[in-house]
Amino acid sequence: MTDDRLPPAGWYADGATAGVLRWFDGTAWTEHTTPDPTPAVPSAGGFRPSVPTRLGESLNLADRVSESPEYLRNRLDEARAVRRNAGWAYGAALAVLLVGAAVGHAMGGPDNVWYLTALVAVVLAGRALRDYRRAVFRGAPALSTPAWVVVGAGVVLALVIFLSVPVATYVSIQEDVDRVLEETAP
């Protein structure tokens, strides 16, 4: 009967002699040795580990945890949550642009509120892009082509509406100037 906690039979670093591999038969050390092809690491005063480590096997607990199914599932859930937050930030950026356009039209042209909404929309859009890229890096699925078309159309539409404020203001001012010039012309 074998102990499941012990590693399988194989060549392992000999804790007593640097630069030497010793055969472990799955239950105990044997007298068989061979030179270690990897660079020697200083041993801790002749200490022989009770459980040998296989060459190339990581003793780092973080490596074992990061490969566990629970960790991968949690990482994917977190990535999806970050992607969802990116969607909310994108929606907020579009809403801010539309509110800014409405305020700009109501005020008769661009003013401080209009510029402030532009700044807020840019910050929110930047955050949305950052969160989206972070989510995809962490394993969340990327947006499909139709989804990117919808995102692009939303951005273009919001920008057209938002930028119509200074254009409408310019046209209105130009009409007023033309009317005044016609009235004052001899």
Q: Give phi and psi for 135, each to the nearest 5.
A: -65, -45
- Beta strand pairing status for 29-35 and 10-13? unpaired
Helix, strand, or coil here: 68? Answer: coil
Tokens standing for residue 161: 């509406």
Residue with tokens 């082509």: 145
Residue 176 CB burial class (10 angstroms; 0-12, 13-18, ≥19) = exposed
Is residue 108 scored above 80 in pLDDT? no
When pLDDT is averaged across residues 113-118 and rounded to a whole number, the result is 83
Q: Enumerate the domain spans of the chain.
A: 10-57, 78-184
Q: How many helices (H) and strands (E) does the chain have?
A: 4, 3
Q: Which two tokens stand for residue 50?
A: 């009770």
Tens of pLDDT, residue by residue over 74-95, are 888 888 888 888 889 898 988 8
| pLDDT of 55 | 55
Res. 175 pLDDT band, cuts 50 70 90: confident
Q: Which of 65-69, 98-102, 107-111, 114-118 bottoms out in mean pLDDT, i.e. has the lowest?
A: 65-69
- Residue 11 CA to residue 28 CA, distance in Å, equals 12
Strand ranges for the chain from DSSP E: 10-13, 20-24, 29-35
CA–CA–CA angle 94, 95, 96 (5° rounding): 90
Residue 50 binned pLDDT confidence (cut-offs 50, 70, 90) = very low
* Residue 33: predicted pLDDT: 86
Please state at what angle helix 112-137 crosses helix 69-107, rounded to 10 degrees.
160
Which run of H or E residues covers position 72? helix 69-107
Cβ 172 vs Cβ 117: under 8 Å: no
Stretch among 30-34, 49-53, 101-105, 154-158 having the lowest mean pLDDT:
49-53
Mean pLDDT taken over the chain: 78
